[in-house]
Chain A
C-alpha cells in the first residue's frame, strides 16, 4: 500500500523523543520534509541530525509551547522553511500531576492550547492549499480512570471533542483531522521507563492489564498516526483511533 507521503511536508511539535520522534522517523523514511520542535535545543539538534540521514529536508528549532507569540512565530518559520505544510501533528504535553492548581494551567497551556494554537497556525496555509492532514494526540486516560482526577486526563478529553469538530468544520477545505489515543508506551527516557524504575508495583499492574503482558513501543503508535496523516487514510476524517494493544477495558462502540 502506498501511503503517498513522498515529498509531503510535515510539521511536528514535541518530536525529539518517544512517539513524536518515531513518527518523524517514519515520515522521513517515507520521503517527507520535516520541521520539528521540542523544548530543549540539544534534543532538537540531535533529532535533526539523526533524521537527516534519510535524505529529505529536515529542519528544527527549539520553542516553548507556553509562549504563544514565540510558538506562533515558530510555525511561520517552519511553514516558510518547508514552503508549505501538508501534515501537522502536535505531540507536546505537560504530562500528569495532581495536587496543585498549576497543573490545570500547564495542561491548558501545553496539552490543549499547544494543539489549538498549532492548528490555527497552519490552517490558513492548509485552506489556501485546499489540502492538509492533522492528527491530534489524545490518550487512553480520556476513556478510563488513570492516576486519579488529573488535569491531563480532562484536558486531553477536550482534544477528542475539538478534533471531531475541527474535522466537520474544515472538511470543505479538504483538511482532514483525526485523533489517536495511545495507551501506555514505554521507551528509554520516557515516563513509563521511569515508572518502571521508581514505582515497580504500579508498573506491573499496568502490565497485567495489557492482554499481551507488555506496554507498547513508540513505533507501534507512530505507524497508526502516520497512516491517518497520509493520503492512504483519505476517507478517515473526524475519527478517534485508540491504539493501546487492548489495554482499555471498555468496548469502543
Chain B
C-alpha cells in the first residue's frame, strides 16, 4: 500500500501546481500544541458497511456501548456563571441537567422526576433555586437531593431510594463542561488524552459565543462526522475554498480515540493556478488580522506566512495574546474530532465547533449543533450571550460553506441504503474517517473484536 497523507503522490493527483506549504518546525513548539506527525495507524482498506448508518440494530448498539458509556460534551462553563445556572442538554432518549453549585463545582443529573418520569426542565439554559417538577411539585435541590415530596405521608413506601437524582459524572475542561451517562466512566483525563496539550493553548475561555444553532439534519450522526473529517470534498462541493485553503498539503494525525488534521488557511489550493489578485476570502483574513490588502506587495502564495508574521508582531497591541500558539496556528485550521461526536475547528481568533447528536429513535436523523466562539480582545467588553436557534434541515442558511455540506447529506443518507451500495470506499485523504470508525468498532465490539460479518 502507498504511504499515507504527506506521502501522497502529488505528481499523480488532480493538481496544477506542486506546492510546498511552509510548516512550523516541530522542535520549536515547546509545551504548545504538538505539530509532529503521528505515525499512520494500520487501518487497512476494507469498506465501512453502509448499514451502520441506517440500521436500528446498530443504532441500539451505539446507544448501549457508546452514548451511555463515554464522556460527552455538555456545554460551556461561561453559561454556568452563578450558583443555580444550569444547562439542560439532550442525548438520544436521555436529558441531562448540569448545574452550578453554591461551592462553584458542577453536578449533573438525569433530567427526570423520580415520581412519574416527567422532565424537570425543557432543553436549554436557565437559573434555578431548585428544580420543581411541574406535575406534582416534587422538588429537588441544586445538588439533586429530593428536598420535598408533597404529602409524603401518603406514600406507604416512603420516598425513592436515597431521596436524590442519580449523580452523573461531570467535569469542566478548557471552558467546556462534560458529562457521562456511565457512572463507571473512565477518568476524563484518560478519555481526553492527549488533547489537553493540543487544545489548551487556544484558551477558549477568552472567547465568547457568537453562534449557537441546532439544526435537525436528515442523516445519521456519523454521516455528519465523516463529512467534517476529510478535505477531499473541498474540490467537490466547496469549489470556492480552493482560493482560501490548501486542501492537498494536509497533515492527518490519529491518536487513540481522537484524531485531527492541519490545513493551511490563507493559501491557494494546488488544484488551481496562482491568482495575481488576492482572493476575496483571503482578503478578509488579511483585514481581520489588521492588514491593508491594498498595501500588500507579495505574491498571493506568500500571504499565509505574511499574515502569520503580522499577527505575531501586532497581536499583543490588538489585545490578542498569541504567545502559546505557533505561527502556523495564527492562520491555519487545526481540526479535531473528539470521539464520538465533536468536530472542532480551532483557530487563534475563533473556534467553530460542531456537536453531532443522534436522534432518539430514527437513525436517519440527527441534531447538528453549531457552536461558534470568538476571541474577545483584552480590555474589550464581553459581548452578550447569543440566543440559541433551532431549525430544520434547509430552512435557513447557516453560511455558504456549511450550506454546501448540509445540502449533500440527505442524498448521501438515502443513497447509502441502496442494495447496490455495500459501504464506504475510503481513500488515504479520508484516513480520519477510517480511524473514527475503528474507534467506534472497538467500543461496540470490543478492541479488535469486530469480525467481517459485523456491521
Contacts and interface: CB of A to CB of B under 8 A. Distances in A.
B276 A198 contact: no
Given A40-B299, A197-B242, A102 B273 contact: no
Interface string A71-104: 0000000000000000000000001110111110
Interface in A105-137: 106
Contact of B273 (A95, A96, A189, A200): A189
B105 to A, nearest CB: 49
A97 B243 contact: no
A17 B299 CA distance: 15
A69 interface: no
Contact of A194 (B279, B292, B293): B279
Q: Which among A97, A188, A190, A198 has the greatest number of chain B C-beta atoms within 10 A?
A: A198
Nearest to A200: B240
A199 interface: yes
A193 interface: yes
B153 interface: no
Contacts of B244: 198
Interface string A181-216: 000000011110110011110000000000000000
A40 to B, nearest CB: 7
A193 B273 contact: yes
A197 B269 CA distance: 12
Contact of B293 (A17, A97, A188, A199): A97
B450 to A, nearest CB: 42
Nearest to B281: A198
B293 A189 contact: no
Given A40-B299, A102-B294, A103-B294, A96 B277 contact: yes
Interface string A21-46: 00000000000000000001000000
Contact of A197 (B16, B239, B277): B239
A188 B273 contact: yes
Given A100-B293, A197-B242, A198-B240, A191 B281 contact: no
A54 B381 CA distance: 66
A194 B281 CA distance: 11
B274 interface: yes
B237 to A, nearest CB: 13
Interface string B280-298: 1100000000001111000
Interface residues of B, number: 20
Interface majority SS (helix, strand, loop, mixed), chain B: loop
A191 B277 contact: yes
Interface string B237-251: 001101110000000
B24 interface: no
A95 B244 CA distance: 19
B124 interface: no
Contacts of A17: 276
Given A197-B242, A197-B243, A198-B281, A191 B276 contact: yes
Interface residues of A, number: 21
Contacts of B446: none
A200 B275 CA distance: 16
Interface string A231-246: 0000000000000000
Contacts of A101: 294
A194 B295 contact: no
Given A40-B299, A95-B277, A191-B277, A197 B293 contact: no
Contacts of A95: 276-277
Nearest to A40: B299
Interface string A9-28: 00000000100000000000
Given A189-B272, A189-B273, A198 B243 contact: yes
Contacts of A199: 240, 280
Given A189-B273, A189-B274, A194-B277, A102 B243 contact: no
Contacts of A191: 275-277
A90 to B, nearest CB: 16
Contact of B292 (A102, A188, A197): A102
Nearest to A188: B273
A104 to B, nearest CB: 9
A198 B294 contact: no
A196 to B, nearest CB: 9
B234 to A, nearest CB: 11
Nearest to A43: B274
Contact of B279 (A96, A106, A198): A198
Contacts of A188: 16, 272-273
B96 to A, nearest CB: 43
A190 B240 CA distance: 15
Contacts of B274: 189
Given A102-B294, A106-B294, A197 B299 contact: no
B292 A193 contact: no
B280 A197 contact: no
28 contacts: A17-B276, A95-B277, A97-B293, A99-B294, A100-B292, A102-B292, A102-B294, A102-B295, A103-B294, A188-B16, A189-B272, A189-B274, A189-B275, A191-B275, A191-B276, A191-B277, A193-B273, A194-B243, A194-B272, A194-B279, A197-B240, A197-B243, A198-B240, A198-B243, A198-B279, A199-B240, A199-B280, A200-B240
Interface of B: 16, 239-240, 242-244, 272-277, 279-281, 292-295, 299
Interface of A: 17, 40, 95-97, 99-103, 106, 188-191, 193-194, 197-200
Given A17-B276, A190-B275, 10 more contacts: A97-B293, A100-B292, A100-B295, A102-B294, A189-B275, A189-B276, A191-B277, A197-B239, A199-B280, A200-B240
The list of the 9 closest CB pairs from A to B, nearest first, reads A189-B273, A102-B294, A100-B294, A198-B240, A194-B275, A95-B277, A103-B294, A198-B243, A188-B273
